[in-house]
Amino acid sequence: MEAIAKGKYLRGSPQKARLVIDLIRGRNVQDALAILRFTNKRAAKPIMKVLLSAVANAKEKNAAADVDSFIVHRAVVDTGPTKWRRRVRPAPMGRAYRQQRHYQHVSITIKGKDIEEG
C-alpha cells in the first residue's frame, strides 16, 4: 500500500530543506516523526506536517493499516518559484539588491505492507 502527500509553495530554502529530508528518507514513519520533532531546523516543521498528511492519506485508503509498518519510501524537495520582495539589500558601489523569497515543493511517499482482504 502506498500513500502520497504533497506540500506546495512552502516558505524556505529548498537547499536547507533537503538537509532535513535526507535525515528521514528510508526510515520508519515513527522514527522519522521523532527525528523531525527534535531536529533544530526551521524546515522540519512543514516537512513533519506533510509526513503526517501522508499518514492520514494512508489511513483514509485503508482503515486497518498499521502505521508502524510504513516507511518513508520517497521524499523529494523541489524548487518552487522565487519571488522578489519590495525591500533592498545594500550592495557594493552604491547599488541595491532586492531581497528574494524562496519557496519549495515537498513530496513524500510512504509505503507499507499490503493487507489481504478476507
pLDDT tens digits along 13-30: 999 999 999 999 999 999
Q: What is the pLDDT of residues 32-43, one digit of tens each?
A: 999 999 999 999
In a domain, 16, yes or no: yes
In a domain, 118, yes or no: no
pLDDT band for 63, please (50, 70, 90 cuts).
confident
| Full residue range of the structural domain in which residue 89 is found | 2-111
- pTM value is 0.87
Residue 58 sits in a domain whose CATH number is 3.90.470.10
User: What distances in angstroms separate CA 52 from CA 16, 37, 69, 70, 71, one per listed residue?
Assistant: 20, 12, 15, 12, 13
Q: For residue range 70-99, what is the model confidence (pLDDT) as tens digits? A: 999 999 999 999 998 888 999 999 999 999
What is the predicted pLDDT for the residue at 118? 39
Domain count for the chain: 1
